[in-house]
Amino acid sequence: MAKEQKIYNMTELAEKLGVPRQTVYYWIEKGWVKPKRDYRDYPVFTEEDLEGIIKWKNLIK
């Protein structure tokens, strides 16, 4: 049985990354971050997405 992944919304993701929510919107707009979409077409992120974004963010420092 597959382990259920935690899903983060924009606010939760921004808090985890330590950036304002608007920064995450900017990254999406630029195409640097690719969110999945929920049933309302809102951007959501998995634990795997979060790990990838953290690695990417650390590379651009």
Give the pLDDT of the chain (61 residues) as one tens digit per residue.
Answer: 456 788 999 999 999 999 999 999 999 999 999 999 999 999 999 999 999 999 998 998 7
Q: Where are the domains of the chain?
A: 7-59
Residues in the chain: 61
- What is 7-59's CATH number? 1.10.1660.10
Q: Which two tokens stand for residue 14?
A: 């921004």
Q: CA-to-CA distance for 48 and 7, rounded, in angstroms?
A: 10
